[in-house]
């Protein structure tokens, strides 16, 4: 297995419940690239002249799309190799265009990095969410690598396992909103849907507010205030 293709620790694989896909954070990808290629031997940038706002035909919030140029120094060839791929990010409620652009550039960087093997199994669909077990399942060939590294065994496609605490906690918070837990939580979900055009990002926002000890009623009040402002702006 090439170094760039080596698995990440299990805790670094995350699941986006509303987007229904597994992912690795941009920070984890950066650390892997620094480890494998070396600091200063790779770089990326958003090609600002390619940035555009794409309106969603279904009325959801618009997305920022931008092409990203990624280069790394090939020590065997003694030259820089360059890839270009597109990154995108929806402009969610409370997010300005600049923040969305930064996220879109990171998205493009991760896609480019996958071309040299970094987290490429995510894009191949080999790392998936098992709804019944409520956990992320990794390819079974990861087991040997995990044993060699002395890492805790992780759930694989060939053997069931219990979810880790971090994934379970996030799932509980998501299910609390999605499974008709209460009338007020349904109002939170509906308000977010109208503001953002989708449910993307709701679980992360809800979890963060709970950690800040914000009540459901307070969350709903914040969303309703933003919704009122949005409606006024639209009718002005």
Chain centre to alpha carbon of residue 15:
8
- 3-12, 62-71, 121-130, 226-235, range with the lowest pLDDT: 226-235
Nearest to 22 by CA among 166, 125, 159, 152: 125
Nearest to 16 by CA among 195, 174, 208: 174
Q: Is residue 29 very low, low, confident or very high in pLDDT (cuts 50, 70, 90)?
A: very high
3-state SS class at 60: coil
Task: Please check the confidence at residue 69 and state whether its pLDDT lies above 90.
Answer: yes
pLDDT, average across residues 28-55: 95
Structure confidence at residue 43 (pLDDT):
97
3-state SS class at 36: helix
Q: Is residue 90 very low, low, confident or very high in pLDDT (cuts 50, 70, 90)?
A: confident
CA distance 21 to 136: 10
Segment 173-204, tens digit of pLDDT: 555 544 445 678 888 888 888 888 777 777 77
What percentage of the chain reaches a pLDDT higher than 90? 43
Task: Please check the confidence at residue 20 and state whether its pLDDT lies above 80.
Answer: no
């Amino acid at each position: 297995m090439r170094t760039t293709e080596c698995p990440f620790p299990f805790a670094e694989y995350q699941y986006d419940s509303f987007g229904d896909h597994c992912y690795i954070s941009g920070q984890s990808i950066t650390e892997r690239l620094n480890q494998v290629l070396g600091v200063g031997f790779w770089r990326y940038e958003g090609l600002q002249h390619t940035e555009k706002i794409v309106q969603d035909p279904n009325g959801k919030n618009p997305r920022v799309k931008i092409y990203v140029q990624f280069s790394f120094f090939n020590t065997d060839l003694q030259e820089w190799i360059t890839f270009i791929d597109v990154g995108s990010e929806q402009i969610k409620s409370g997010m300005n265009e600049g923040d969305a652009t930064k996220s879109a550039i990171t998205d493009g960087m991760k896609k480019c990095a996958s071309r040299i093997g970094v987290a490429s199994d995510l894009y191949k669909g080999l790392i998936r969410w098992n709804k019944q077990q409520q956990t992320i399942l990794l390819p079974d060939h990861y087991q040997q690598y995990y044993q060699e590294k002395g890492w805790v065994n992780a759930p694989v496609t060939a053997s069931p396992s219990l979810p880790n605490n971090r994934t379970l906690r996030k799932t509980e918070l998501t299910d609390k909103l999605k499974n008709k837990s209460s009338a007020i939580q349904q109002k939170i979900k509906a308000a977010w849907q109208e503001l953002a055009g989708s449910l993307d990002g709701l679980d992360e926002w809800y979890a963060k507010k709970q950690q800040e000890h914000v009540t459901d009623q307070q969350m709903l009040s914040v969303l309703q205030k933003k919704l009122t402002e949005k409606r006024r702006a639209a009718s002005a």
